Amino acid sequence: MSPLTALTYVLPHRALSSLARRLAYSANPAISRRLIDTVVAKFGVDLSEATESNPRAYPTFNAFFTRALRDGARIPDPDPRALLMPADGRISQCGQIEDGRIFQAKGRSFTTTELLGDETAAEPFANGLFATVYLSPRDYHRVHMPWTGTLRETVHVPGRLFSVGTDAVAAVPGLFARNERVACHFDTDFGPMCVVMVGALLVSGVETVWGGIEIPPYGGPITTKDYRGRGIVVERFAEMARFNYGSTAIVLLPKGVAELAPQLGAESPVKLGQRLATIL
């Protein structure tokens, strides 16, 4: 375990993330420009793909970080059976959910019940498929629908805010099931699908297109929002949510409905809209 990862066990996670949020939303040019310039230079952000390519045009760091892509910058796989990658980034891990457990790294795993905060909600995904997609600070930070679905409910599960970098994923047991997260449950034509938005250290917010700001607040009890009967349908490839700063999205699928794209594996670089899996 690196010294930085060890330090995250004792850092005031929520206080730091609250501070990061205030800085991200600051309209003070001295703050926003310094943050934007630092991230562009450090991580090699490609603004040519953005709707607005001028970094000085963004009034806040958050506006820059949640920037939209220009039309045509990402194109969904044309095969109608292709279930799509929800975000830019890289695959942390993907594969089968074995006896209700999701592989994390180096012998570490966690259960779908721990991730979703509810045993009943986890049952449909027993022995199904998962894909964990890590979004780095350089990536496009909006998450899109892998497949058309009708929103059933969202569940905000409180937790810590560990880093989700490679070292932390390898070292912190059950990391993704310990961090603050929002599980978005959908009904589709093949059955249930869940996309989990996992927060991380200095990630100051998660927003959904239907509900607005979901995180913060930080901590508190598990909070469920029931959307059944409201007819909220989000189409394949449409935006569903967004992060502030880098984090992770996890897609869960039931058993027997799809096959993961064979070229995907740990550390595979991925782009929004490419094939994640093929519906059977």
Q: What is the pLDDT of residues 124-141, one digit of tens each?
A: 999 999 999 999 888 999
Residue 70 lies inside a defined structural domain of this protein? no
pLDDT at 170: 78
pLDDT at 18: 79
**45 and 117 share one domain:** no
The count of other CB atoms within 10 Å of the CB of residue 209 is 17
Q: Pick the catalytic residue: 13, 32, 77, 88?
A: 88
**Mean pLDDT on 250-258:** 98
DSSP per-residue string spanning 239-280:
EEEEESSSEEEEEEE-TTSEEE-TT--TT-EE-TTSEEEEE-
**21 and 86 share one domain:** no
Q: What is the pTM of this model?
A: 0.93
Task: Work out the burial of residue 216: count CB atoms within 10 Å of its CB; fewer than 13 is exposed, 13-18 middle, 19 or more buried.
Answer: middle
Q: Pick the catalytic residue: 13, 141, 144, 156?
A: 144
Confidence of residue 23 (pLDDT cuts 50, 70, 90): confident
3 has a pLDDT exceeding 70: no
- The answer to whether 247 is a known catalytic residue is yes
**115 and 230 share one domain:** yes
Q: What is the pLDDT of residues 185-204, one digit of tens each?
A: 999 999 999 999 998 877 66
Residue 212 lies inside a defined structural domain of this protein? yes
Domain boundary among 65, 99, 114: 65
SS3 helix, strand, coil % of the chain, rounded to 5?
25, 35, 45
Residue 76 lies inside a defined structural domain of this protein? no
pLDDT at 244: 80
Nearest residue to 275 (alpha-carbon basis) of 18, 116, 134, 76: 76
Residue 256 lies inside a defined structural domain of this protein? yes
Q: What is the pLDDT of residues 80-119, one digit of tens each?
A: 999 999 999 999 999 999 999 998 876 788 999 999 999 9
Coil, strand or helix at 208: strand
- The answer to whether 156 is a known catalytic residue is no
Residue 77 lies inside a defined structural domain of this protein? no
